[in-house]
């Protein structure tokens, strides 16, 4: 049976690489389709890696020696002018993607499921482009940016995440990024999910919250 909401719905999954976001996207979409007859739109919404740009800002962080001690984020140097220009260009392209791939479908009443979103962009700006968290939040805080109906943060220690997916950042860098996610989670009301749990438990927690929110939209 097909049961449609009166308006669109935005679901986002955030977290460091290796937490299982992509797998959870599949669970969410399958659940909405099988139980509610609701198709959904999948959006890969990673800053610096989208249909408008294949530039990978993370390469800068990956090339840093793993043995070098991380700089505290409150003491990191001011980004150079070329880096600021580069970051600004990527941010413009990223916002254009959000308009086309997220905002417009929501206005048409579609369900959109994002693998990464502006919360991940805040972390990318702070970690990879040496932007302060406050500045990154301001850049990603425009009122026109759609706010998720359900927003998850899949949390996992860096070492475990690296063991699951070792083709990204080092375990130490993943732990740096994890700390940034945890620092912004309360202010952005991210629903914490312990990704150390068995897959089925994580899936039940996430799909249960999504179904509850979807049903609430129907009731309204």
Determine how β-strand 150-155 pairs with β-strand 9-14.
parallel
The pLDDT-based confidence of 75 (bands split at 50, 70, 90) is very low
- Greater model confidence, 105 or 74: 105
| Chain centroid, CA 141 distance in Å | 15
pTM of this structure: 0.85
Lowest-confidence pick of 12-16, 30-34, 69-73, 108-112:
69-73
Give the tens place of pLDDT for each residue, 148-196: 999 999 999 999 999 998 887 899 999 999 999 999 999 999 999 999 9
The percent of residues above 70 in pLDDT, for the chain, comes to 83
The pLDDT-based confidence of 55 (bands split at 50, 70, 90) is very low
CA separation (Å) from 6 to 106, 108, 109, 112, 135? 11, 10, 7, 14, 36
Residue 109 has pLDDT above 90, yes or no: yes
| Chain centroid, CA 94 distance in Å | 13
Give the tens place of pLDDT for each residue, 134-151: 999 999 999 999 999 999
Rounded Cα gap, residues 52 and 138, in angstroms: 23
The number of CA neighbours under 13 Å toward the Cβ of 138 is 5
Residue 76 has pLDDT above 60, yes or no: no
The pLDDT-based confidence of 74 (bands split at 50, 70, 90) is very low
Q: In the predicted model, what is the mean pLDDT of residues 83-102?
A: 88
Say if residues 150 and 213 touch (Cβ distance below 8 Å).
Answer: yes
Q: Please give the radius of gyration of the chain, using alpha carbons only, rounded to the nearest integer.
A: 18
Q: Which residue has the tokens 């962080």?
A: 61
Edge-to-edge strands of the sheet including 111-115? 40-44, 111-115, 9-14, 150-155, 191-194
Which domains does the chain show, CATH number per domain?
A: 9-219 (3.40.50.300)
Residue 198 has pLDDT above 90, yes or no: yes
pLDDT for res 49: 65
Say if residues 154 and 195 touch (Cβ distance below 8 Å).
Answer: yes
pLDDT for res 83: 72
Rounded Cα gap, residues 161 and 18, in angstroms: 5
Lowest-confidence pick of 18-22, 57-61, 143-147, 210-214:
57-61
Residue 99 has pLDDT above 70, yes or no: yes
């Amino acid at each position: 049976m097909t049961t449609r909401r009166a308006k669109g719905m935005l679901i986002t999954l955030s977290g460091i690489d290796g937490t299982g976001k992509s797998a959870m996207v599949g669970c969410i979409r399958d659940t909405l389709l099988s139980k509610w007859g609701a198709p959904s739109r999948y959006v890969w919404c990673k800053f610096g890696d989208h249909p408008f740009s294949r530039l990978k800002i993370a390469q800068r962080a990956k090339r840093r020696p793993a043995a070098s001690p991380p700089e505290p984020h409150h003491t990191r140097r001011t980004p150079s002018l070329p880096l600021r220009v580069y970051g600004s260009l990527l941010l413009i392209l990223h916002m254009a993607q959000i308009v086309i791939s997220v905002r417009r479908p929501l206005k048409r009443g579609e369900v959109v499921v994002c693998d990464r979103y502006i919360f991940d962009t805040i972390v990318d700006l702070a970690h990879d482009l040496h932007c302060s968290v406050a500045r990154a939040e301001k850049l990603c805080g425009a009122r026109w940016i759609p706010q998720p109906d359900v927003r998850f943060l899949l949390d996992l220690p860096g070492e475990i995440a690296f063991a699951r997916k070792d083709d990204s950042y080092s375990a130490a860098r993943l732990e740096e990024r994890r700390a940034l996610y945890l620092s912004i989670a309360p202010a952005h009301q991210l629903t914490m999910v312990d990704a150390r749990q068995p897959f089925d438990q994580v899936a039940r927690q996430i799909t249960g919250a999504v179904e509850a929110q979807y049903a609430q939209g129907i009731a309204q």
